[in-house]
Chain A
Amino acid sequence: MIAAPERSEVAPTRTRRIAVSSWRIMRKHPTGAVGLVILILILLFILSAGILTPHRYDRTLSGKAAPMMSRGFDDELLVLGGDELGRDILTRLQHAGRTSFVIGLAAPLLGVTLGTIIGIVSAYRGGIVDLLVQRVVDVLISLPGLVLAMAVTLALGFSVWGVIVALSLNVVGGSSRVVRSHALTQSQLEYVQAARALGASDLRIIFRHLLPNSMAVSLVLFTVGVGAAITAEAGLSFLGLGVQPPTPSWGNMLTFAQQYFRFGAHIAIIPGLTIAIVVFAINLVGDSLRDILDPHLRGRG
């Protein structure tokens, strides 16, 4: 048994060790560190919704497409101006960020998890299972994701969850293919054969050996998926088939941008630029993560 005082001695050294090693990783991958800092800043920005600005995201404060740093009807300051309905863009950006981030994280999480399980089982079972599963994957890969997502959001309703499920389907095909090819090489290795020789069950081999060894690949796929999901949500919303107003998302802030940009270009520029910055930061983190976790994947995709 470890006595209580001893534990308190261990704790700081452990935190220190983690701090030192993460510092070292960041020194070695400065671009990833920059990406991480940008992401943290954006998260703080989103989480301060309701604190940073005194406005509501769904109230008209000014005329159509009020320019940046202008004053609204009651002399409120609109730092980033007003949108096509005169709502404060800065406030909307924060609230929309919540929606976009939830979708951006949940959709690839769901999709990559499903894809990983399908990929591993398909590779491990082989034979007829693999053949059939891969045919379905073939079809999923060859359909334009937006088309698939359009039908699914319409079927599930335009809720955040509907969009999440719809966008996760886009990820399943591709990620299961990648994980499958990784798992195929893994299941040929001696340690899997040794486990099987020792009488380990299929489930045990899959969950204790193949799944943990695919984690690096899945994590990289997930990171790439986050940026893709945020962009895809924007595309879906742009077509009017994503998260519906009054719930704002970065994508549906752009829905009417095209009709109204003659009144003020900032309506079109600001939400798009935000998406671009976030995806850029995620890509930086993803690239570094890929270098750290899996050198074999370097430079792909």
Chain B
Amino acid sequence: MRDYIIRRVLLLVPNLFILATLTFFLARVLPGDVALGLVAEDGSVINQEAVQVIRDRLGLNDPMPVQYARWMLQLLQGDLGKSDVSDISVVKVVAETAEVTFLLAILSVIIGAVMAIPFGILSAMMRGRWPDQVIRTFSAVFLALPNFWLGILLLLALVTWFSWSPPIFQETFLDAPVEQLQRLILPSIAIGTSFAAVATRLTRSTMLEVLNQDYIRTARAKGLFPNRVIVRHALPNAVLPVITLSALLFAGLLNGAVVLERIFALPGMGVEIVTATSERDFQLLQGLVLVLGAFVMVWMLLIDLLYVALDKRIQLE
């Protein structure tokens, strides 16, 4: 167990190195650079001299290996640099935008799990009967709905029936938790339902698998109440795969977050990434993508470790 944890944590080092390299090249494959955009904002004729001055200042004229080395050295010092456009430190931008994105993803997982686990269990226990059919049909339908479209429809419904539009304000969760949750609840429902669709199917199939096992038969034969068998014996083992799924789908949830932030005018990392990409703000883009990727990696590692800790059936070599 200890060796496994050490091995997995050590593997983070090469992973982060590759991630940092990939983010660097991801930014460099973009056509054009920030200088063209900054100069074009000032006047219609592009002043070549001004372009060169900006490139020199940002070090974009240096050879690629030099730029790469600078990026890596900077990271080793724990510095994400400053935005090429606004000169604000990338860490500050991340700090301001991360809350919305991660709250959105976490809230979606919670909403998804709250829907998926009871429905999945019900579906498995009622296998083949009408509640099972209804639940399976709904999960198949929701699986097919693009979550950003669901977001648009939710917005559409609220705008037409309640003339409600998403509030625009800049407060953090700690300052105004209720308002923040109100603002995030609709997009979270949109992302959460597609997660719930997958998770319901998974809960159902693992539950069916678990219910067929000997220890459940034993528990029933002992004369335990059926509900107790489900809650105490079957549930813990049936829920584990859902936890893993939430880790595996986390990157996918962030995908949803990127688009839904845009629809609901939320100041999150997704919107920031789209802006940084279109402005060719390399430093900001690299920083944001690196943070997102690193977060998903650490999250997946934690879930894996949690899984090993919780599931007594897993035997490590």
Residues in A lying within 8 Å of B, measured CB to CB: 135-136, 138-139, 141-148, 150-152, 154-155, 227, 231-232, 234-235, 238-239, 241, 254, 257-258, 261-262, 265, 268-269, 272, 275-277, 279-280, 283-284, 298-301
Determine which of A143, A241, A261 lies in contact with B156 in the assembled complex, contact meaning CB atoms within 8 Å.
Answer: A261
Distance (Å) between the CB of B56 and the closest chain A CB? 24
> Which residues between 284 and 306 of chain B lie within 8 Å of chain A, taking CB atoms?
289, 292-294, 296-297, 300
Across the interface, do B31 and A155 meet the contact criterion of CB distance under 8 Å? yes
Q: Which of B30, B156, B202 contacts A265 (CB 8 A)?
A: B156
Contacting residues, chain A, for B14 (C-beta < 8 A):
135
Contacts of B206 in A (CB 8 A): 299
Given contacts A151-B26, A258-B155, contact A235 B259 (CB under 8 A): yes
> Quick one: which of A142, A257, A276, A279 contacts B19, CB cutoff 8 A?
A142
Is there contact, CB below 8 Å, between B15 and A138? yes
Q: Nearest Cβ in chain A — how far from B267, in angstroms? A: 16
A-B CB contact pairs (8 Å), 19 listed: A135-B11, A141-B300, A142-B251, A143-B19, A146-B258, A147-B292, A150-B274, A151-B277, A155-B29, A239-B258, A241-B277, A254-B152, A258-B152, A258-B155, A261-B159, A272-B149, A277-B144, A298-B205, A299-B201
The reply on B148 being an interface residue by CB < 8 A is: yes
Contact of A284 among B19, B140, B254, B296 (CB under 8 A): B140
Nearest-neighbour CB distance to chain A for B127, whole angstroms, equals: 12
Question: When A138-B15, A143-B251 are in contact, do A299 and B202 touch as well, CB less than 8 Å?
Answer: yes
- CB of A234 within 8 A of CB of B18, answer no
Residues on the B chain within 8 Å of A150, using CB: 273-274, 277
Asked whether, in the complex, the Cβ of B144 is within 8 Å of the Cβ of A276, the reply is yes
| Mask of B229-267 contacts with A, CB within 8 angstroms, 1/0 | 000000000000000000000011011001100110000
Asked if A275 and B146 make an inter-chain contact with CB atoms under 8 angstroms apart, the answer reads yes
B residues lining the A interface (CB < 8 Å): 11, 14-15, 18-19, 22, 26-27, 29-31, 140-141, 143-146, 148-149, 152-153, 155-156, 159-160, 198, 201-202, 204-206, 208, 251-252, 254-255, 258-259, 262-263, 273-274, 277, 289, 292-294, 296-297, 300
Q: How far is the CA of A155 from the CA of B29 in the complex (A)?
A: 6
Assess whether B145 is in contact with A276, with CB atoms less than 8 Å apart: yes
How far, in whole Å, are A238 and B150 apart by their CA atoms in the complex?
A: 13
Complex CA–CA separation, A268 to B151 (angstroms):
11
Taken together as a complex, chains A and B put the C-alpha atoms of A147 and B30 apart, in Å, by 12
> Which residue of the partner chain, among B11, B153, B204, B293, contacts A272 with CB atoms under 8 Å?
B153
**Residues of the B chain whose Cβ atoms lie less than 8 Å from the Cβ of A144:** 251-252, 254-255, 258, 292, 296
Cα distance A63–B31 in the bound complex, in angstroms: 37
Identity of the chain B residue whose Cβ is nearest the Cβ of A149 in the assembled complex: B255
- Shortest beta-carbon distance, A17 to chain B, in Å? 32
**Are B300 and A142 within 8 A (Cβ)?**
yes
Task: List residues of chain A with CB within 8 A of the CB of B30.
Answer: 151, 154-155
The answer, among B144, B252, B292, B297, for a CB contact under 8 Å with A280, is B144
A234/B149 in contact, CB under 8 A: yes
CB distance from B48 to the nearest CB of A (A): 23
The 6 A-B residue pairs whose C-beta atoms are closest, nearest first, are A299-B205, A280-B144, A272-B149, A155-B29, A142-B296, A279-B144
Which residues of A sit under 8 angstroms from B204, Cβ to Cβ? Answer: 299
Q: What is the chain B residue whose CB lies nearest that of A281?
A: B144
Known: A155-B31, A254-B149. A141 touches B277 (CB 8 A): no
Q: How far is the CB of B231 from chain A (nearest CB, A)?
A: 22
A146 to B146, CA, bound (A): 14
**What is the CB-to-nearest-CB distance from A260 to chain B, in angstroms, rounded to a whole number?**
11
Q: Within the complex, what minimum Cβ distance (angstroms) separates B225 from chain A?
A: 27
CB-CB under 8 A from B140, the residues of chain A are: 280, 283-284
A300 contact from B202, B255, B262, Cβ within 8 A? B202
Expressed in whole angstroms, the Cα–Cα distance for A238 and B148 within the complex equals: 9
Question: Is A258's CB under 8 angstroms from B297's CB?
Answer: no
Contact, CB under 8 Å: A276 / B11: no
